[in-house]
Amino acid sequence: ESADAVIIGGGIAGLTAAYSLVKAGLKPVVIEQRGSVGGLIIGGQVGPVTFDLGADSYASRSQVCAQLCEELGLAVAGPAGTSWLFSEENGATPLPFGSLGIPASLDDPDVAMVLSPKGLERARQDLTMGPEAGAEREGLDDLVRFRLGDEVADRLVAPIAGGIHSAHPRNLTADSVIPGLRAGLAREGSLIGAVAAIRGGGPKGNPVAQPVGGLFRLVEGLVSQILAGGGRIETHRIATALERGTNHTPWAVSTFRAERNPNPALPPLPGGEGTIVQTPRVIVATDGGQGLRLLDAIPELETQGWEVPQGVPIVHATLVVRAPGLNDAPRGSGMLVEANSLVSAKALTHSSQKWPWLGGACGPDIHAMRLSWGREGEPYPTVTEAIAVREAEILTGARIEEVLGSKVMHWGPSLPPLTPAHLARVAQLHEAAATLPGLAITGAWASGTGLAAVVPHGLKTGEQLV
């Protein structure tokens, strides 16, 4: 077969790249080995309501995400309610205002509820160290421990950054998860001041947003535009090889029907009769492991032996329950959990409180929530409805009277932690790929995690190949 472009991978990166190509009048083919597109963004009905079963928001700092929603005719709204922190030592406490656990002010009374007097005194050293101290430290954990001490790193940053990025802060690059943090340190003279500047000095706006109706509406909108523009989306299809073609069609992609692997933890297997798609443009938008397996055949890229950091396997349990004790949102819109012996979950989102449209859809005494599991160094979580209900009651302090619906989702390794060494090698990979006409690479491992990084990179990747 032949096509204007082939996008290997139908996650949000691949879909945004395809959308850029369609807007330019091209008709791309998107190949996705799963039965649905969108990657970690997926919606579904649980009990009486339909909402997000995976990722549910994007960082509001990304104007590109907001503009994309506007292009697709999607109204956008921010969350309601406050966030909390849960630990075995302190129980449930309000989450101090800041960024990924770094407070915007050490005079915030919520900080004193989490830190000991000694820990708070150590954190205050950040205010007098000067901007040069620790400025060369790229890792989030390393930077926070040097500037603010171990308690801030362990009690605030580890549970919050770990809950959001599914990685220990030692495997996260500070500027990739809090853009402008080290530049703010140089400008403001302290990490506390840098975060205060990033957050505008106070809670004046929501750090995240979503399309009304759920983040999965973004995927639906992209799919609709791709198909309307003449593009094609082939699910249950696996790409097994990427090869150089001729001058007229410089790339050839071999694809097969994706068949279930006997080991469900492993990727699908190729089956049936293969198809070769010849194209002048190919975008690799898979996860890092599959992407490198395809790119290894191209000697100019020098990818042999490169192993992309593996993310932590994630499990989500979504519940819709009858629980009048949650009507007053005793834990706000949800909480992040410090590792402890009382519960195994790392986070709970009170979804119907966080997103007012969903609360209205649920009705009186009905609440939607989601619990998340998956910490670095822990075995793959075993989660049942009973476990989710028990831990939800512990975390919220409210009794669940009836379960109206539940859904457990297993994601496998995702959200790869992007170390400084990995980001440096990714930059070299993009430079090498730019020398090969018609080839581009995108996806979380090649752009940075989070929609604020993935969506702009996917759109730009498509535009570059037009």
Q: pLDDT of 260-302, one tens digit each?
A: 888 766 778 999 999 999 999 999 999 999 999 999 999 999 9
CA 82, chain centre distance (Å): 21
* Alpha carbon distance 41, 67 (integer Å): 18
Q: What are the distances in angstroms from CA 29 to CA 8, 34, 374?
A: 8, 15, 34
Is 114 domain-assigned?
A: yes
Q: Which of 395, 413, 431 is the last residue of a domain?
A: 413
Q: How many CA atoms lie within 13 A of 303 on its CB side?
A: 23
Is 259 domain-assigned?
A: yes
Is 338 domain-assigned?
A: yes
Q: In the structure, what pLDDT confidence band is assigned to residue 420 with cuts at 50, 70 and 90?
A: confident
* Alpha carbon distance 165, 259 (integer Å): 30
- Residue among 281, 262, 299, 308 nearest 419 (CA): 308
Question: Does residue 297 sit in the same domain as residue 339?
Answer: no
- Residue among 93, 179, 194, 199 nearest 148 (CA): 194
More confident site: 74 or 380:
74
* Alpha carbon distance 169, 220 (integer Å): 33
CB 31 within 8 A of CB 284: no
**pLDDT at residue 11, as a whole number:** 96
pLDDT at 201 over 70: no
* CATH code for the domain of 256: 3.50.50.60
What mean pLDDT do residues 123-150 have? 95
- Residue among 181, 209, 206 nearest 196 (CA): 181
Q: Which of 198, 232, 251 is the last residue of a domain?
A: 198
Question: Does residue 299 sit in the same domain as residue 420?
Answer: yes
Q: In the structure, what pLDDT confidence band is assigned to residue 203 with cuts at 50, 70 and 90?
A: very low
**pLDDT at residue 265, as a whole number:** 61
Question: Does residue 266 sit in the same domain as residue 395?
Answer: no
The three-state DSSP-derived secondary structure of 236-304 is CEEEEEEEECCCCCCEEEEEEEEECCCCCCCCCEEEEEEEEEEECCEEECCCHHHHHHHHCCCHHHCCC
Question: Does residue 404 sit in the same domain as residue 391?
Answer: yes
Is 150 domain-assigned?
A: yes
Question: Does residue 291 sit in the same domain as residue 360?
Answer: no
**pLDDT at residue 379, as a whole number:** 83
3-state DSSP assignment of residue 209: strand
pLDDT at 450 over 90: no
Cβ atoms within 10 A of the Cβ of 344, count?
18
Q: pLDDT of 11-66, one tens digit each?
A: 999 999 999 999 999 999 999 999 999 999 999 999 999 999 999 999 887 799 99
* Alpha carbon distance 360, 417 (integer Å): 36
**pLDDT at residue 202, as a whole number:** 44
Question: Does residue 137 sit in the same domain as residue 226?
Answer: no
Least-confidence region, from 167-176, 227-236, 423-432: 167-176
With left for phi above 0 and alpha for psi between -120 and 50, is residue 139 left, alpha or beta?
beta
* Alpha carbon distance 50, 216 (integer Å): 10
Question: Does residue 278 sit in the same domain as residue 327?
Answer: no
- Residue among 96, 158, 207 nearest 337 (CA): 158
Range of the domain at 445: 5-39+214-309+416-465
Is 82 domain-assigned?
A: no
> What is the domain count for the chain?
3
Is 205 domain-assigned?
A: no
* CATH code for the domain of 104: 1.10.3110.10
What mean pLDDT do residues 385-395 have? 97
pLDDT at 204 over 60: no
* CATH code for the domain of 359: 3.90.660.20
Q: Which residue has the tokens 């989030």?
A: 140
Average pLDDT of the chain is 92
Is 446 domain-assigned?
A: yes
Question: Does residue 103 sit in the same domain as residue 166?
Answer: yes
Tokens describing residue 121: 């005194």
Question: Does residue 259 sit in the same domain as residue 191?
Answer: no
Tokens describing residue 39: 């990657």
CB 417 within 8 A of CB 338: no
* Alpha carbon distance 283, 461 (integer Å): 8
Question: Does residue 323 sit in the same domain as residue 290?
Answer: no
- Residue among 392, 402, 198, 422 nearest 311 (CA): 422
- Residue among 239, 241, 237 nearest 296 (CA): 241
CB 446 within 8 A of CB 431: no
What percentage of the chain has pLDDT greater than the value 90? 78
Question: Does residue 403 sit in the same domain as residue 370?
Answer: yes
Question: Does residue 453 sit in the same domain as residue 304?
Answer: yes
Q: pLDDT of 350-374, one tens digit each?
A: 999 999 999 999 999 999 999 999 8
Is 68 domain-assigned?
A: no
